[in-house]
Amino acid sequence: MIGSRVLEDKDIPVQLIAGLGNPGAEYAETRHNAGFWYADELASAWQGQFRSEQKFQGDVCKLVINGQDVWLIKPMTWMNRSGQAVAALARYYKIPSEAVLVVHDELDLPPGTARLKRGGGHGGHNGLRDMIQHLGKDFARMRLGIGHPGHKDQVHDYVLGRPSRVDHQQIEDAIWQATKILPKLLEHGLEKAMNDLHTK
């Protein structure tokens, strides 16, 4: 587990952003890959290029945003082993868990919603479960709403299914808003970025 320190948000700028998803073309457009979509949008917005890094078990990209270095990773370990890849990169670059932002799909929020938070449980999300196992609970999260199918027995097929055209557009809109607040997140910390994002 990566060591954690109790520090104020403003003292710990985000240095590593992990977008969660599953590898492979058959999963590319599924709801569970919303984290990958966000990572791709960031890379595009700041002219980054992902490359496969075997030692980190993922696709990795380095961005410079307002003079700050930020690493992006899309774990290629499958969702339920995401923490392995993120922890490997964090350890290599000596990035504390509080400086990690994990971006994931969120059943409990409607499509078109993006929310920031720090800490918390996994809520049944396999990617977060593994992330907590490897990083502890102090990392920040970007929760991208995908809506809920209505019954827990339908969740598996729902997250691995494609959203409707309307829902997909709403998710993309939320990702765009979440991308725009990243410079504020890096400069001013989670609290101020949260206030900005949550009033959209």
Which is the catalytic residue, given 32, 104, 125, 134? 32
Phi, psi of 58 (to 5 degrees): -170, 175
Looking at residue 74, the DSSP 8-state letter turns out to be E
Between strands 100-106 and 140-145, the pairing is: parallel
- Helices and strands per DSSP (H, E), number in the chain: 7, 7
Query: Cα 132 to chain center, whole Å?
Result: 13
Which residue has 């980054």 as its token pair?
Answer: 48
Catalytic residue status for 122: no
Q: What angle do CA 5, 181, 22 make, to 5 degrees?
A: 75
- Residues designated as active site: 32
